[in-house]
Chains A and B, each alone.
Chain A
Amino acid sequence: MSYLEHSVKSVPGGLRKVLFLNWPIILLLVSVSGVGFLMLYSVAGGSFSPWAEPQMKRFALGFAVMFVVAMIPIWFWRNMAVLGYVLSVLLLIGVEFFGTVGMGAQRWIDLGFMRLQPSELMKITLVMLLAAYYDWLAPRRTSRPVWVLIPVLMILFPTFLVLRQPDLGTSILLLTAGGGLMFLAGVHWAYFAAVLAMGVGLVTAVFQSRGTPWQLLKDYQYRRIDTFLDPSSDPLGAGYHITQSKIALGSGGITGRGFMQGTQSRLNFLPEKHTDFIFTTLAEEFGFVGGLSLLTLYALLILFCIASALAARDRFSTLVTLGIALNFFLFFAVNMSMVMGLAPVVGVPLPLVSYGGSAMLILMAAFGIVQSAHIHRPR
């Protein structure tokens, strides 16, 4: 029996819960999504179809989901962690057999009303499972090798499945988020130092294996790394995306070229302008000011999550909130680095802004859990 359940009486109940929602976070979510609608409207050439309108509908649905999830007590979600993880893993194995092929990878299952990307779900359920695990684990065992090995396996198994899809971006995100959560849980720093050393070794191995029969990555993944390292080597081929993206960003200048005036996006010089590269359109049309504003909104969202996590009284709430915030951070950090030419093109969308159904719904559900933790903390 945990400390949490004994404090139920001091937790708000019924409709009073609404008053205890973390309103700043809701406001930030609406703002960020609003930026997304605006940009999707712009890249469609000033039209709600084909992207802005479905995105708004999904946001409405996601908002409802967040609200429902927030109303359900946090200990319910803690108890659901194992189930959610198992379900995600099953779905990940499922995509191997029933998945739809898109962009050279098996990534999603068509549920009829939406396409579910199990890897997106996995990011959240992994964080929940790890948070629940450290909530359950006796504090003295936290840094014992066996009890460190268990969460490592929990992380590596889905990471391996995602890598097989193959989705390099998401697997790196899973690995980083999982490792980050173990760090937050208080595992001894020596482990991380060891892993870091091994990571360097692995990167070396990845590059050394290129061209041999036991090659670790697909050819296109290597090429993406190549073009990242030197985009000018192939400006009309594989480096085209990064080059055009930087041109779009740079030509925006300080104040941008004006709403719907971005020539790079309007004339299709930008690749995947409604999904992975939507930030370039924003930066082109609203300039440095626009880009910095969105970055500030994201940073504030992270700060409010950390503040909420520090105020929580139980480990699950703290860790799950921090984990979700970390995930969110990784999303936008990797995406922005990619479009600014600081990271290889790995196919990570800009959270809440890029067009995409399952990512939006799952993120809103995740923020529902953050809200639930916020509401159901003893006061």
Chain B
Amino acid sequence: MRRPDRLSQALGRTTSRRALLLGGVQLAFAGGLALRMRQLQVDQADQFRLLAEENRVNIQLIPPTRGELFDREGKILARNSPSYRIVIVRENAGDVQDVVARLSQLVSLDEEDLIDAIEEIRKSPPFVPVTLADRVSWDEISKVAVNLPALPGITPEVGLTREYPQRGDFAHVVGYVGPVSDYDLSQIEDPEPVLRIPRFQLGKVGIEAKREDVLRGKAGAKRVEVNATGRVMRELDRREGEAGADLQLTVSADLQNYVQARLGEESAAAVVLDVDSGDILASASAPSYDPNLFVRGISVADYRALNEHQYRPLANKTVQGLYPPGSTFKMITVLAALEEGMIGTEDTVWCPGHLEVSGRKFHCWKRGGHGHVDLVTSLKRSCDVYYYDLAVKVGIDKISAMAKRFGLGVKHDLPMSAVATGLAPNRDWKERVRGESWRVGDTANASIGQGYMLSSPMQLAVMTARLATGRSVTPRLVKSINGVEQPSGAGAPMGLNENNLRVLRRAMYAVCNDRRGTAYGSRIIADGYRMAGKTGTSQVRNITEAERRAGVIRNEDLPWERRDHALFVDFAPYDRPKYAVAVVVEHGGGGSKAAAPIARDVTLQALYGGTPPLDAYPTKDRDRIAAQQRALNQPPPDDRPDGSDRA
């Protein structure tokens, strides 16, 4: 029997000692772990709890329904119509290629979109729906719906898309929406998160853009719980959004349709105002374009065609187009002189065909001159010399100030894109902007609406409405928002001498109704509907002395872009004005020939609230007008019943 020796015992003691030491180390380590646990779970718990919540909770926005747009009679101008799209979920589809192949037998799928979609399917988690086809027709979507059992993972979905049933007729007033671009985001300070929803649409042009604030509405939101791969597990809570407000415009769709059709393919603009309320009853700019093209995403070729067109269909010429007002400005010049008391209404001026102003010859449009002319005659026959003479006496600053009182050279506050200010120049302006001093010759030019003078058709219509009423009417485009009537444009009396205005109106009446008036050819003969107006023909080129001696080249012989602009402004009925109209035909030639007939037709259409009877027209014109009415009443060939066709 072997008893443990001393060495063994010593070793045993060493082992025991070391066991206790190691045990101690182990306990100390466990204590260290406990401290670490305390640090994470007690000291930093709040911070980690927040991170865990951030992990699990996702906020998803519910896009609001956009407000719709109506005309003054309640006709729809912009609506949200259902659009169908086909969506695939990979995890339910099994063999994606196979399903897509079967789907393409039912629906025409765009080759390029499809390649993008398949790439997107490959990249996204299996539960994320990917759109295969957008704006699918009802026929195709029904075919897909019937065949759903053979198409695993495919779902037809319905969404809302903007549609403009009035197409080109309201393109410039209503504008259009389009997908939010990076550029849009960069333009907005602190953009709302809703703008980052894929496919969300934003007003780009016109009312859609300018009243985006009320049309868009407020996005709702739902909080959902997601897992690590982003799959939604359940909805935690939701806050409903607020639909955008519906807008009713002052424009009458029927009148607008007519005006747009009457302008036809000319490069022209026309505005109809209610002289009392300032309501814009029509605001037409031709040629136009189909805003629905932009909603879908316009093709590069289509866009280039629109953008490079000589007649600038994308521009809203009623507010954006600036033209020398020409003779339509003469009312302002004469009124400035009358209000200053510098002339009497009966004073006459001798017109020999030109006037020499500080050594330079200023010509009347009539080479032989008009002889002795008074106010009414000068306006009726559009004598230029009378106004040169007047303007030199009154001075530009008075004329410019009067122009501004009539809304020329003043930016009207309208919810339209690119509203131009125009220009009613004065001494100060020229010195400030041009760095040159004002010359008397500039005043002569300005007096007949040439030279630096620039105004838009909308401004001319406002000027005419103010002349007709003597009140500072302002234009109004939005009649009501969500049924709440907006402030009227009716203005306070301008404080002008009513006698002066009366003479001026009588002169404008003579323009249209006197046998020697420049617009006599475009008169209205129906009693109680007669109009008062003024023609304007504004030069876009200088006529040299040499040309004058050889005989001024006729408009027909010039290239289009060098021809004169044709303008016409009028109000009617003469005795109790209701409507003010302004028409500009770009490079249309003479105002009496190109612009006045359009303005007369538009005025009659407004007065009668529809197609006017032929006996409102002069007898010899009736056959021609009848033919014109028949042509205009035919629906345009491209007027399809709805927008469900795919571009």
Contact = CB atoms under 8 A, between A and B. Distances in A.
A188 to B, nearest CB: 10
B142 interface: no
B181 interface: no
Interface in A61-103: none
A251 B22 contact: no
A306 B5 CA distance: 24
B22 A252 contact: no
B297 interface: no
Interface string B1-41: 11111011011101110111011001101100110111011
B30 A250 contact: no
A333 interface: yes
Interface in A317-342: 318-319, 322, 326, 329, 333, 336-337, 340, 342
A185 B15 contact: yes
B586 interface: no
Contacts of A183: 18, 22
B52 A263 contact: yes
A326 B23 CA distance: 9
A107 B49 CA distance: 37
Interface in A11-50: none
Nearest to B16: A310
B223 to A, nearest CB: 13
Interface stretch (A145-153, A264-272, A351-359): A264-272
A8 interface: no
B404 interface: no
Nearest to A303: B23
Interface string B317-338: 0000000000000000000000
A249 interface: yes
A190 interface: no
A292 interface: yes
Contacts of B229: 268
Contacts of A247: 48, 51-52, 55
A250 B44 contact: yes
A316 to B, nearest CB: 12
A184 interface: yes
Interface string B333-374: 000000000000000000000000000000000000000000
Contacts of A310: 16, 19-20
Contact of B41 (A185, A250, A319): A250
Contacts of A184: 15, 18-19, 22
A309 B26 CA distance: 15
A1 interface: yes
Interface string A215-246: 00000000000000000000000000000101
A339 to B, nearest CB: 10
A295 B33 contact: yes
A253 B48 CA distance: 9
A263 B15 contact: no
Given A139-B7, A246-B40, A251 B19 contact: no
Interface in A258-294: 263-264, 267-269, 283, 287-288, 291-292
A130 B26 CA distance: 21
A315 B33 contact: no
Nearest to A326: B22
A302 interface: yes
Main SS class of interface, B: helix
A45 to B, nearest CB: 11
A333 B41 contact: no
Contacts of A249: 37, 40-41, 48
B45 A253 contact: yes
A315 B12 contact: yes
Given A250-B41, A295-B33, A318 B49 contact: no
B437 interface: no
B56 interface: yes
B23 A251 contact: no
A244 B40 CA distance: 13
B228 interface: yes
Contacts of B647: none
B301 interface: no
Nearest to A309: B19
B503 interface: no
B497 interface: no
Contacts of A333: 26, 29-30, 33
B23 A302 contact: yes
A299 B3 CA distance: 35
A268 B49 CA distance: 16
Contact of A269 (B2, B26, B47, B55): B55
A6 interface: yes
B23 A248 contact: no
B276 interface: no
Contacts of A302: 23, 26-27, 30
B52 A298 contact: no
Nearest to A186: B14
A248 B52 contact: yes
Contacts of A346: none
Contacts of B227: 267-269
B36 A340 contact: yes
B30 to A, nearest CB: 5
A157 interface: no
Interface in B208-261: 225-229, 233
Contacts of B546: none
A9 interface: no
A251 B49 contact: yes
A142 B11 contact: yes
A294 to B, nearest CB: 10
Given A315-B15, A318-B15, A267 B41 contact: no
Most buried by A among B44, B48, B227: B48
A232 to B, nearest CB: 12
A54 interface: no
A182 B29 CA distance: 20
B484 interface: no
Contacts of B40: 246, 249-250, 340
Given A283-B41, A287-B41, A267 B225 contact: yes
19 contacts: A3-B2, A3-B3, A139-B11, A246-B40, A249-B41, A250-B40, A250-B48, A251-B49, A253-B42, A253-B45, A263-B56, A287-B41, A288-B37, A291-B37, A298-B30, A302-B23, A333-B26, A340-B36, A340-B40
Interface of B: 1-5, 7-8, 10-12, 14-16, 18-20, 22-23, 26-27, 29-30, 33-34, 36-38, 40-42, 44-45, 47-49, 51-53, 55-56, 225-229, 233
Closest 3 CB pairs of A and B: A250-B48, A251-B52, A267-B227
